[in-house]
Structure 1
């Protein structure tokens, strides 16, 4: 409990420091909103041109889009410390973290908390609410919990990817762009139903980087569709837990990386 209190103190200090420049915070938040809004316009243009894609309408694609962007915006906010971790290793600042009587995960998570990502969060939330009203889904308590679980699972999955990216810095202090293809590229891929992709690419999104488990399968269950790529219908209701399991796996890999850290010698 003491560590949790410390973490929230980290967050409070980080937010207070960002709000010292309110105009900058507002402009950055609006910028994130507009950038993601332009991306959504690209999705709209695609469906406006072709009407539907593999049996999916624009409103259904908007549901996928809203879920994945809300999840990723939360990830961008609370894992910013891991996202910038290569710089800590390169400058030798990670040595100081190791000397403190707190876990490395807690300290790095508290190193930075970006509230300006609220722009992406609001944009994704607006799209999700619009899609819900347009689709006229028959909501039950189970579907509401599944929607929330999908967002939380997606958050943990993307967070795990960023932790793995930070872990690679123990062997290569330069940021590896190939990892960004799974994080930012994964957001772009998951905002569409994965059934529109080639089978080999679908397998990557299911078994390697399991984005389908926190977006496609839950969304299909919410929509009441049975097109689950020959997987059992119940997979959509349990798959969000895979996001949390992926995050735990990433933390275990992180601990292995910490044990192999040899310092900068500075």
Structure 2
């Protein structure tokens, strides 16, 4: 069986297991939708009170919010196995079973627990994108749709890379460290607002260390047809999502080091 076919079978098995309890799956999905909806209310309250923030309106910021949450929803569904690597695989010794299978470890973990509930965040992100379209008067042409999809792909790769790094740390810590949430959920929060609102040092972190700006800020500027207040040329938004794939490749490089460090449970 090919790797992609195996991945599809693992995903189907995961979804079938969750579908046995439809009420639970529905409530978890609705919970995700409502929990992230509180964040939307917070953003709306901010702009309802102040109108604009440094020239950015609620429609433009809603585009950031919707796009970033769609990215994270897809990456979170794919990367759940890395998130629980320490507790469900390393501590119990079942990681050895994955090592014995003649298929890529990453693929097995990505198909391990494909959560239906992540559709709640994805649906909310799509609704906010619809709101942004109306509020900011965005003209979705083939070019802007292509930019949005390219940014989405880069963002999924970036957030998946963060989850891979989180799983990699488990080879040394066994537990999944809560500090990793600074990059996952904290990264989602930071990317929901324009880069120009942050201090210079934080802009550099979001551009060169964890390139969230490359998959959100610059592509959104290209979609809006808005000049960058920080002076970046317009073409940056067309190529910057590539940084997400570079980050993912680096994360898998660290992952291979972690796998070589793994010494089994000894049981």
8 A contact 2:148–2:219 mirrored in 1: yes
Question: Alpha-carbon deviations, 1:173-213, whole Å to 9, x = none?
Answer: 12222211011000011111111011111111001110000
How many corresponding residue pairs?
266
Q: Which runs of 4+ in 1 moved over 4 A?
A: none
* Gaps in structure 1 of 5+ consecutive residues: none
1:244 CA drift (Å): 1.5
TM-score (norm 2): 0.97
- 3-state DSSP class of the match of 1:171? helix
2:25 maps to 25
Matches within 5 A, 1:165-176: 165-176=166-177
Distance in 2 (CA, whole Å) between partners of 1:129 and 1:247 is 29
1:96 CA drift (Å): 1.3
- 3-state DSSP class of the match of 1:91? coil
Distance in 2 (CA, whole Å) between partners of 1:201 and 1:232 is 20
1:28 CA drift (Å): 0.8
Distance in 2 (CA, whole Å) between partners of 1:76 and 1:37 is 17
Report the more deviating stretch, 248-257 or 114-123.
Answer: 248-257
TM-score (norm 1): 0.97
Distance in 2 (CA, whole Å) between partners of 1:201 and 1:70 is 23
Against the structure 1 CA distance between its residues 233 and 16, is the aligned structure 2 distance closer, same or farther, given a 3 Å change threshold?
Answer: same
Matches within 5 A, 1:176-215: 176-215=177-216
8 A contact 1:32–1:120 mirrored in 2: yes
Question: Alpha-carbon deviations, 1:94-115, whole Å to 9, x = none?
Answer: 1111111111111111211001
1:142 maps to 143
2:12 maps to 12
8 A contact 2:70–2:126 mirrored in 1: yes
Against the structure 1 CA distance between its residues 151 and 228, is the aligned structure 2 distance closer, same or farther, given a 3 Å change threshold?
Answer: farther
